[in-house]
Amino acid sequence: MNVSIRMIGVATTVFWVFIVIFAVSAMYSMKDVRFEFGEPQVSLTSEGDVLLFMPITVVNTGYYNIKNFNATTLVFDAESTLIVRGSTLVPIIETGMEVATGHNVTFSVADLLQKSERYLFEDVALRAEERIGLWAAEVIPVEARANVSLLWGAPLYNFALGAPQYSAYNVTHMRVEIPIGFENHAFFDLACNISVRMFDDSSSLLGVGATSVEVLQHSAYDGLLAMYVAVPTLETSTSGYFEVSFASSLFSYGPMVIYYG
């Protein structure tokens, strides 16, 4: 009886030693597993959504297979609010294998721009969090995470109106030209209608003008917007403000108030 108990004790000890050795070797094997996150690729869908592709490469030169490799991407705005999440699952990555995968996540440009005017006029750093989960040697759970910074480029970066330029048009009206300048830092080309209403310092409407602009991504725009203002009204106005509105297939915004004079 004592021999049987002793044998059970020995077998139990051997079992736990095996488990410990296996677990240690499995975790040690993880040093030979390499995760490579490629450069995020950003594009615009035909529906006007941001398409973000996150490429991932896994190189398993360890001793054991990897089971249920799961990569999850969470994208947060500048206020750390979750915008979107996406996941990719690879059921098995055998030892000696290299697997190139990735996943797409999409979110609405309009929804992002509605959060704050900052996204129209300022470059903003978004944050992408990469979460990795897997089963080492198919039985031991392993998790890791990393942060990636994503720069949102403003389509109307540094938007400004210059000083109004006046010229004679006829006996009753003056032609007013207003310089417009900005830079399109976005990853998409911008086609936008810009309308401007001109007021004097007593909030009387002087004139209205509009223009359409098409600006390639990562390009600057400098142009003029023209309107016609009655001469008697203009002669009594030396200062005031503009109300500027923007309309495109991706967003609408305004009026934005810019003072002159």
Instruction: Supply 249's token pair.
Output: 């297939």
Going by pLDDT thresholds of 50, 70 and 90, the confidence category of residue 14 is very low
The CA distance from 111 to 250, in Å, is: 10
* pLDDT value of position 12: 43
Using the predicted structure, report yes or no on whether residue 18 has a pLDDT greater than 70: no
The CA distance from 48 to 248, in Å, is: 11
**145 or 21, higher pLDDT:** 145
Share of the chain above pLDDT 70, in %: 84
Mean pLDDT (the chain, rounded):
82
Closest to 84 (Cα-Cα) out of 53, 123, 46? 53
* pLDDT value of position 172: 87
* pLDDT value of position 105: 87
Q: How do residues 181-216 score in pLDDT, each as one tens digit?
A: 999 999 999 999 999 999 998 899 999 999 999 999
> Are the C-beta atoms of 104 and 73 separated by less than 8 Å?
no
Q: Are strands 173-184 and 165-168 parallel, antiparallel or unpaired?
A: antiparallel
Separation in Å, CA 243 to CA 98, 118, 195, 252, 259: 57, 18, 8, 14, 9
| Maximum mean pLDDT: which of 64-78, 133-147, 151-165 | 151-165
Average pLDDT over residues 29-54: 79
User: Looking at this protein, which amino acid is placed at residue 159?
Assistant: F
> Are the C-beta atoms of 189 and 216 separated by less than 8 Å?
yes
In sequence order, what DSSP letters do the residues of 55-88 get, joined into one string?
EEEEEE-SSS-EEEEEEEEEEE-TTS-EEEEEEE
Average pLDDT over residues 44-72: 84
- Burial code of 45-67, b = ≥16 C-beta within 10 A, e = fewer? eeeebbebbbebebbbebebbbb
> Are the C-beta atoms of 192 and 180 separated by less than 8 Å?
no
Closest to 105 (Cα-Cα) out of 37, 57, 40, 153? 40
* pLDDT value of position 237: 66
> Are the C-beta atoms of 195 and 209 separated by less than 8 Å?
yes
Going by pLDDT thresholds of 50, 70 and 90, the confidence category of residue 96 is confident
The CA distance from 193 to 214, in Å, is: 9
> Are the C-beta atoms of 176 and 207 separated by less than 8 Å?
yes
The CA distance from 59 to 96, in Å, is: 7
Domains of the chain: 22-151 (2.60.40.10), 157-260 (2.60.40.10)
